[in-house]
Structure 1
Amino acid sequence: MADVEVSEIANPIDIECIESGVLSYGRAQAHGGNARSIFALVRDGGILVAGACGRTEYRRLFVSSLWVAEAMRKQGLGRRTLEALEGEAVARGCQDSLLDTLLQENVEFYRRCGYNVVASVPKYVGQFTRTILVKQFACREAESAA
């Protein structure tokens, strides 16, 4: 019989095996998604100062992370980085973007960037509320007709 082991620390290879196994199984169930990674990186003098990552799939941009170095915040880099990611997603045929956050200040930032709250889970982690936001992109056909 197989042994079950519980631990606070795991071998990175084991973690990768678990995560890729879940992803592979899910991908086998979801036909036609054509998931592609997407990144937007901002460098200042060769040093990474901001970035965003996610994936495009089923005509949607899924933003997993948006980060700006603390010393570079409040200068528009977050918005510029997100807009660059969204621009590439639109070029790939995406119609909208989905992301989530645990911080209320981020919810306000994303609203200013055109996102709308579609769901929230109060006390998701401790006192933090998980907020899920979506932004609809302008239809490319409508833009070309104008």
Structure 2
Amino acid sequence: MSEPTRAWLRDAAVPAADLVAIREAVVLHGRQQAQGSDEQAIACALYEDGRLLAGAYGHTEFQRLYVSYLWVREDSRGQGLGGELLRQIEAQALARGCVDVLIETLLDEVAELYEHMGYACIAHVHDFVPGFTRHTLLKCWAARD
């Protein structure tokens, strides 16, 4: 019996499907450790005349809403749509039994907006990206079980 042949691949040489497989394997392993995952995608979007105006998506799991992305079309910013979008997706999460929500941003002014909406900064990394601080914010609606 011959020895298996091994080869290191790097960067673009690693097939995209294998990158997805790696991510999924890490997530699955973590969920197996935590046990009882109830992960479910969550999304909310606003359309105007059939065009996407604003949207947010992420997932809920272990009674927590994780907001991955929140976006408002550039020509519609400054009108309160981002805050309304966040309230909409929070309402969905509350209906699912979530007790808190976690969100991140690289923009100081967005972190301040979230703080005005009841979020507390629980961590930040200065120069996460040169010139930007990564803010991790948490909003609690109820105590954890």
Which category of TM-score, normalised to the shorter sequence, fits these structures? 0.7 to 0.9
2-side partners of 1:97 and 1:7: how far apart?
Answer: 34
Give the SS at the match of 1:4: coil
1:4 and 2:13 aligned:
no
Give unpaired runs (5+ residues) of structure 2. Answer: none
Structure 1 residue 58: deviation in Å?
1.2
Structure 1 length as normaliser, TM-score?
A: 0.87
Structure 1 pair 42–121 and aligned structure 2 pair: CA distance change class (3 A): same
**2:69 pairs with one of 65, 78, 92:** 65
Identity of aligned residues (%): 40
> So what's the TM-score if we normalise by structure 2?
0.88
Runs of at least 4 residues of structure 1 off by over 6 A? Answer: none
User: Is 1:29 equivalent to 2:33 in the alignment?
Assistant: yes
Larger radius of gyration: 2
Q: 1:121 to 1:71 in 2, by over 3 A?
A: same
1:85 maps to 2:106: no
Structural mapping, 1:9-20, within 5 Å = 10-20=14-24
Q: What is the CA deviation profile of residues 108-143 of structure 1, one whole-angstrom value per residue up to 9, with x for unaligned ones? A: 11112211111111122223211110111268xxxx
Query: Cα–Cα, structure 1 residues 34 and 126, in superposed 2: closer, same or farther, change >3 Å?
Result: same
Which of 77, 96, 99 pairs up with 1:95? 99
Residue 139 of structure 2 corresponds to residue 135 of structure 1: yes
Q: CA RMSD in A?
A: 1.7
| Runs of 5+ unmatched residues, structure 1 | 140-146
